[in-house]
Structure 1
């Protein structure tokens, strides 16, 4: 449990550092727009509930995938292909910036500890 709390603390501090970067904020906003537009599309075009559509969009962007849902319409299939290509690139870019912020924070902490010793 202690390990989980320490890891969560590192993640939250990494997020705060990442939000100070313009590129991260831009990617974050684009991801929110992607999630919103995907949710609205699948709700209207494929007849999914808002929660199911949002879940599908998050699973798709995080590259986990959704085993039970396959778009039924041709427009839905085309939209999903574009959504996967564009969204996965944005999501991986955002994760990369977050990882950079976490590593940068870890290096700072190590330097601070060495300076104190």
Structure 2
């Protein structure tokens, strides 16, 4: 349990660090805009409930693709291809930014510990 708390704490710290980067904020904003757009599109074009449309949008963007929901119309299929191309890149950018922030925070923690030890 303690390990989970430490991991969550480090993830939140990394998210704060990443949030200072304009590229990260832009990618998160882009994901949210795409997610809302795709949800609206699938709700209107496919007639899916909002929860199903959000679920499909996230599963497609993360390249999970369970196959339980599939677009049926040609316009929906074209939209899904374009949505997947855009969203996958943004999800990767967010993940890379978080990973970079995690390593930066870890290096900063090590440097602070080393500095404290040298003062003693």
Report TM bin, short chain: over 0.9
Cα deviation 1:18-60 (Å, max 9, x = unaligned):
1100100011100000100000000000011111100111111
Residue correspondence of structure 1 range 1-117 to structure 2 within 5 A = 1-117=1-117
Structure 1 residue 116: Cα displacement: 1.0
Q: How many residues align?
A: 117
User: Gapped runs of 5+ residues in structure 1?
Assistant: none
> Is contact 1:24-1:97 (8 Å) kept?
yes
Max Rg structure: 2
User: Gapped runs of 5+ residues in structure 2?
Assistant: none
Structure 1 residue 66: Cα displacement: 3.0
Q: CA RMSD in A?
A: 0.8
Cα deviation 1:37-94 (Å, max 9, x = unaligned):
0000000000111111001111111121232111010000000011111110111011
> Is contact 1:56-1:66 (8 Å) kept?
no
Following TM superposition, the consecutive aligned residue runs of length 4 or more in structure 1 with deviations greater than 3 angstroms are none
For normalisation by structure 2, the TM-score amounts to: 0.94
For normalisation by structure 1, the TM-score amounts to: 0.97
